[in-house]
């Protein structure tokens, strides 16, 4: 497993405020003078001026923050999110903004280059490092543009969260793809449009952010304004571990976990069970929508689809309807018989389920997208929405 080296961790620590009195060589047993610095004037890492010493005696100002970050998913260099491009030797420019601290700084111009573009080669091996969120120039980033085109104002570290958790596609991409096409006729030009992963910011802004496919003449809940003091990502997430700080929730909610919190007395999934968290309703409706997408491709289109969350592009063909993904030359066959109706429903399903915290980030918006997509498919499937007993 590839993890950040000691020198990487210490040099990152220096970037967020560690003091250094002299430079050590890569051999921890040898020291050099303070004049020996890097080409850019920075000190690689610090050790005491004289020995003997033990590591426990070395005071590190931000030791706890570094420790917390080191065990978070943001620091896991072996994760697919950061190791995907290892064989290529560099990270694609279109991906580098969020999959490398170096790329993030390049995109926002925090490294002195032009903002809004990736100017150079972004090396593999990077993670969401300390400089991604603690760079002094981040205070100058005042707005973030979402895939929908919405420009949202940000302050400080909020720019980091919203840049990388907004997704890569929005409802407008679906609108443009299916324009002027017959709603229930497969079109070979259509391909699955992936909203991407960990889309918390897109969910949070709701209808205002226009991340989902919005059916005409429908209104959608906007940004989820929680009770004060919950006003930003750091209101709920510990910024270094990324874990949820649940104790503040207990001020207003009686529950054993965030997943058990219910925001309404109504049942949205038709079960009538209001003793469980709203997550249960969202999960149930998401499962229903996926099942209806599968039924629609089978009964209306005639070419069934199979979903496989472990392989991109996730939706695959099952032309002979044997319940097994079709293959060609040993490779799975991506589903290519999308209709405008199935494509927009699949996009909304993926957007909602791509955010595992949808029940906290914006449960209203998640439920609305699911309900509208279920209703959209109910017509050609001859399903009476009243029989489902769902609420929007």
- Written as one string, the DSSP assignment of 159-210 is HHHHHHSS-S--HHHHHHHHTTS-TTS--TT--PPP--S--HHHHHHHHHHT
How confident is the model at residue 10, as a pLDDT? 42
Give me the helix-helix angle, 200-209 and 363-378, nearest 10°.
70
- For residues 110 and 130, is the Cβ–Cβ distance under 8 A? no
How confident is the model at residue 29, as a pLDDT? 37
Say how far apart CA 164 and CA 270 lie, in whole Å. Answer: 35
Backbone angles phi, psi at 145, to 5 degrees: -95, 130
pLDDT string in tens for the chain (392-residue length)? 445 444 444 444 444 433 333 233 333 333 334 445 556 555 555 566 667 777 777 777 788 999 999 999 999 999 999 999 999 999 999 999 999 999 999 999 999 999 999 988 999 999 999 999 999 999 999 999 999 999 999 998 999 999 999 999 999 999 999 999 999 999 999 999 999 999 999 999 999 999 999 999 999 999 998 877 788 898 899 999 999 988 888 888 989 999 999 988 999 999 999 999 999 999 999 999 999 999 999 999 999 999 999 999 999 999 999 999 999 999 999 999 999 999 999 999 999 999 999 999 999 999 999 999 999 999 999 999 999 999 99
Q: What's the CA dihedral at 348, 354, 356, 360 to 10 degrees?
A: -50
β-strand 327-328 against 305-307: which pairing, if any?
unpaired
Alpha-helical (H) ranges within the chain are 6-15, 63-70, 80-83, 93-99, 101-107, 130-134, 158-164, 171-178, 200-209, 278-296, 340-353, 358-361, 363-378, 385-388
β-strand 122-123 against 305-307: which pairing, if any?
unpaired
**Burial degree of 49 (CB within 10 A; 0-12, 13-18, 19+):** exposed
> What token pair was written down for 269?
């999934």
b/e map 290-328, b = 16+ CB within 10 Å = bebbbbbbeebbebbbbbeeeeeebbbbbeeeeeebbee
Say how far apart CA 363 and CA 279 lie, in whole Å. Answer: 8
How confident is the model at residue 63, as a pLDDT? 86
Say how far apart CA 157 and CA 140 lie, in whole Å. Answer: 11
> What token pair was written down for 221?
């809940």
How confident is the model at residue 1, as a pLDDT? 46
Say how far apart CA 347 and CA 369 lie, in whole Å. Answer: 10
Return the H-helix or E-strand segment holding 328. strand 327-328
How confident is the model at residue 62, as a pLDDT? 85
Say how far apart CA 366 and CA 208 lie, in whole Å. Answer: 13
């Amino acid at each position: 497993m590839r993890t950040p080296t000691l020198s990487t961790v210490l040099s990152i620590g220096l970037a967020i405020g560690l003091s250094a009195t002299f430079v050590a060589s890569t051999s921890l047993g040898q020291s050099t003078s303070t004049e020996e610095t890097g080409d850019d004037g920075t000190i690689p890492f610090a050790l005491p001026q004289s020995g003997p010493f033990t590591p426990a005696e070395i005071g590190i100002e931000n030791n706890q923050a570094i420790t917390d970050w080191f065990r978070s998913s943001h620091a896991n260099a072996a994760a697919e999110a950061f190791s995907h491009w290892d064989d290529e030797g560099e990270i694609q420019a279109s991906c580098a903004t969020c999959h490398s601290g170096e790329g993030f700084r390049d995109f926002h111009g925090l490294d002195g280059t032009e903002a809004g573009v990736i100017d150079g080669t972004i090396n593999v091996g990077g993670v969401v490092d300390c400089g991604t969120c603690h760079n002094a120039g981040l205070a100058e980033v005042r707005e973030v543009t979402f895939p929908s085109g919405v420009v949202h104002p940000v302050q400080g570290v909020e720019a980091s969260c919203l840049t990388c958790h907004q997704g890569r596609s929005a409802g407008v991409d679906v609108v443009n793809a299916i324009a002027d096409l017959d709603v229930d006729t497969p079109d070979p030009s259509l391909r699955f449009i992936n909203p991407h992963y960990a889309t918390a910011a897109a969910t949070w802004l709701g209808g205002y952010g226009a991340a989902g496919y919005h059916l005409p003449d429908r209104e959608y809940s906007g940004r989820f304004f929680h009770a004060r003091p919950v006003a930003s990502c750091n209101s709920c997430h510990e910024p270094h571990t990324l874990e949820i700080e649940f104790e503040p929730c207990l001020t207003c909610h009686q529950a054993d976990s965030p997943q058990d919190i219910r925001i309404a007395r109504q049942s949205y999934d038709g079960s009538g069970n209001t003793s469980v968290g709203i997550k249960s309703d969202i999960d149930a409706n998401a499962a229903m929508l996926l099942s209806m997408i599968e039924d629609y491709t089978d009964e209306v289109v005639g070419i069934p689809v199979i979903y496989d969350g472990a392989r991109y592009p996730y939706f695959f063909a099952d032309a002979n309807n044997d319940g097994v993904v079709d293959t060609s030359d040993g490779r799975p066959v991506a589903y290519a018989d999308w209709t405008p109706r199935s494509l927009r429903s699949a996009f909304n399903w993926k957007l909602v389920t791509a955010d595992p915290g949808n029940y906290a980030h914006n449960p209203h918006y998640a439920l609305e997208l699911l309900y509208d997509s279920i209703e959209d498919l109910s017509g050609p499937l001859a399903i009476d929405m009243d029989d489902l007993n769902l609420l929007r």
